[in-house]
Amino acid sequence: MNTFPIIPKPYSMSPIPGVFRFSGHTRIIARDGLEPIGVYLKEVIQSIAGLSLDVSSAEMKPPSAGTILLTLMGENQVLGREGYQLEISNNEIVIRAPHPSGVFYSIQTLRQLMQASHRDQQLSEGGDCLIPAVKIEDRPRFRWRGMHLDVARHMYPIDFIKRFIDLMALHKLNTFHWHLTDDQGWRIEIKKYPGLTEIGSRRKATPIPANRQVSDGIPYKGFYTQDQVREIVDYATRRFVTVIPEIELPGHVLAALASYPELGCTGGSYQVATSWGVFEDVFCAGNEKVYEFLEDVLNEVIELFPAGYIHIGGDEVPKDRWNHCQKCQSMIEKQGLKNAAELQSYFIKRIAAFLSTRRRRIIGWDETLEGGLAADATVMVWRDASYGVQAARMGHDVIMCPTEYCYFDTYQAQDQEREPPAIGGFLPLEKVYAFEPIPDELNPDQTKHILGGQGNIWTEYIPTPEGVEYMAFPRATALAEVLWSPQEVKDYKDFCQRLRGFLRHLDGLGVHYRDPFAVKTLRGVGLHNSL
């Protein structure tokens, strides 16, 4: 190979003479409690080369040629928690890392090398597979490398959620932001409030792509049980992906209000939204029953998601209902607030304080900055990078996902007539690759608050798993390199050269990606109901 077709590009790579030969005699030695990852590696090798290898926790005596050694190396400040060293020589492959996550990420690099060699050389005599010798030292630039998926507008089978997590892991992405509730549907079982799924998970119809206000007349329903959620979280954990749930509040809550009308300012009647947009009806910020309800809901959510964060939304909250609600006005007076904007701040700070008692921190969209925010809250920036600058200067941690670089439900080509319906706007692969999460305006101390970034997929026009893949990849591939690789090694032409080989890897996995080098036929991809 003239180049190592690895994405994200590693921190450093040094070719050395020789090749390593995979064969039926190759053995995997997994020390330091790494046997489960050794079994995962065995499955990867079997899927690529058709070889079923033995996995052991002990060295072979005498040592055998063709050994793959997985081992921990102790704390290493240079590599950090997720870095690794991968050395491939004639006789062995040695993977060292300070933490099991680094061992796992090294396997993603190894599988790409194997897949490229297998594709280019096919199998050698005797069913062996050869890969070039190389030394790689690698570590991520950012610790938050995420993908968001909205399942409130359209939801997807458990098997696809697992597949999506697998594709994230292949890209060394480590955070799955699961958007579970919105105006158009409540998708998570809450045992204390069965109405949320009996009523809130169902809508009478879905807007057609041509006109947001015209419905198809087809009922839509579905939610994930708590057992299914646990299954997903466990699956992701074994792939070093953290699952962050989003439970929207105080706006985007029509599905909850349809289930429990007493939680709104007017008392109803409400229905699960059958159109897209921002709606005036929100949780009543002056009603103590709302806070009791949300604490009960979040208590169950916390039990399902061990991650240290809960995303609470906080975006696009109209204030009209609050301005005309006697309970909300009484709360403003009681708390000594100036207006409805400060009432929103009070609402979010109160939820943050509750979650703090349960050892959780909130993440909110950048609107949560309005009126003030809890000191330990994290801000997720979607509107404009300037909000990230503001949040970081205030001392808040920041996750960058501005629309112009990170919204993968937007069009991919300027010739929009050839593209399926999308939210709007134009986000080509090259622009995603040009994304820089750290704004120039920040000084070194402030840049420490930039945790990383993520790609967001809102699913108003994406009813099928194939459609999600088409909109995500390879834009998520470009974003993965932005978030993992050193800024100084980024080069779009080089990325495209490696991407051509990487796409063949996605072919082998059956991914319905958009080929930027030869756009696929759109029929059958399933991005909206009329395809």
- Catalytic residue set: 182, 252, 316
Task: Kindly tell me the burial class for residue 457, based on how many C-beta atoms sit within 10 Å of its own C-beta (0-12, 13-18, 19 or more).
Answer: buried
As a whole number of angstroms, the distance between CA 494 and CA 213 comes to 44
Residue with token string 């492959």: 93
Of 352, 301, 309, 312, the residue nearest 174 (C-alpha): 309
Q: Is 220 helix (H, G, I), strand (E, B) or coil?
A: strand
Using alpha carbons only, how large is the chain's radius of gyration in Å?
24
Q: Tell me the backbone φ, ψ of residue 93, rounded to 5 degrees.
A: -120, 125
- Take residue 501 and report the two structure tokens written for it: 């080989």
How far separated are the first and last CA of the chain, in Å rounded?
40
Question: How do beta strands 129-138 and 12-22 pair?
Answer: antiparallel
User: What single letter denotes the amino acid at residue 31?
Assistant: R
Which helix (H) or strand (E) segment holds residue 478: the answer is helix 475-484
Q: Are 390 and 369 in contact (CB under 8 A)?
A: yes
Give 246's contacts (C-beta < 8 A, 6+ positions apart): 177, 178, 179, 180, 181, 311, 312, 313
